[in-house]
């Protein structure tokens, strides 16, 4: 093979390699843009191995009466008037969470969300809420999310913790709720919560 032929072949191969490299790069980037999901390295999202189990204990104050209610009925279905369980009714809440059972005790957060009567036959709420923590050291600004069934007349109700933010990112666990006080005239309630969460 002559030197000229070799140079032409080398030039052709170089152009071909550049073209293939460009094609692979373009194909790779368009594929990643079209993919539904991709795996990320743990470092990219600062994920550490789950190693902390926290136990939180507080009181939830659901206040439906007075000048400053923290829970307000937002839906009352037509059939609710004829329903013993008030099926279909829905309440929006921003309830204080305190260290002790008295409303005047130290505030540690707010329970913000919705509870709805989701059972025709018994009093069982669908709970969709966040425990938003304030002024409690490392937990300040962090939240835990609850999504579950609350069978109100049971002595202890268990609901799942399905996630969280801040120090509770990727959290999982459960919350145990127990009635502490209830006023049937006003509907006001104080509920003791014991929450166990891995994060």
- Model confidence over 60-90: pLDDT tens digits? 999 999 999 999 999 887 655 677 888 889 9
Residue 133 has a pLDDT of 96
Residues in Cβ contact with 58 at an 8 Å cutoff, skipping those fewer than 6 apart? 97, 98, 99, 108, 109, 193, 195
- Model confidence over 120-156: pLDDT tens digits? 889 999 999 999 999 768 899 999 999 999 999 999 9
Average pLDDT over residues 13-26: 56
Six token digits for residue 127: 């709970």
Write down the domain spans for the chain: 1-38, 53-198
Indicate the pLDDT class of residue 194, thresholds 50, 70 and 90: very high
Residue 38 has a pLDDT of 66
Looking at every residue in the chain, the average pLDDT score rounds to 84
Residues in Cβ contact with 53 at an 8 Å cutoff, skipping those fewer than 6 apart? 196, 197, 198
Q: Where are the alpha helices (DSSP H) in the chain?
A: 3-34
Cα distance between residue 33 and residue 68, in whole Å: 50
Q: Quick check: helix, strand or coil at residue 137?
A: helix
Question: Cα(first)–Cα(last) distance of the chain, in Å?
Answer: 68
Residue 134 has a pLDDT of 94
User: 132 or 8, which is more confident?
Assistant: 132
Residue 45 has a pLDDT of 60
Specify the CATH number for 53-198; select among 3.60.110.10, 3.40.50.300, 2.40.480.10, 3.40.640.10: 2.40.480.10
- Does pLDDT of 51 surpass 80? no
């Amino acid at each position: 093979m002559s030197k000229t032929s070799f140079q032409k072949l080398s030039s052709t191969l170089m152009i071909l390699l550049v073209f293939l490299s460009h094609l692979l790069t373009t194909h790779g980037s368009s594929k990643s843009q079209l993919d539904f999901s991709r795996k990320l390295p743990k470092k990219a999202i600062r994920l550490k191995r789950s190693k902390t189990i926290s136990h939180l204990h507080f009181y939830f104050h659901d206040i439906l009466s007075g000048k400053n209610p923290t829970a307000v009925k937002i839906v009352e279905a037509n059939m609710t008037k004829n329903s013993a369980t008030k099926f279909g009714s829905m309440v929006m809440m921003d309830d204080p969470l305190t260290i002790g059972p008295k409303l005047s005790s130290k505030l540690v957060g707010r329970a913000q969300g919705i509870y709805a009567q989701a059972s025709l036959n018994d009093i069982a709420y669908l709970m969709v809420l966040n425990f938003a923590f304030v002024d409690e050291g490392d937990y300040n600004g962090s939240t835990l999310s609850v999504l579950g069934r609350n069978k109100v007349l049971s002595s202890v109700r268990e609901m799942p913790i399905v996630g969280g933010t801040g120090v509770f990112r990727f959290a999982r666990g459960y919350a145990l709720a127990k009635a502490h006080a209830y006023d049937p005239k006003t509907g006001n309630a104080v509920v003791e919560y014991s929450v166990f969460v891995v994060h």
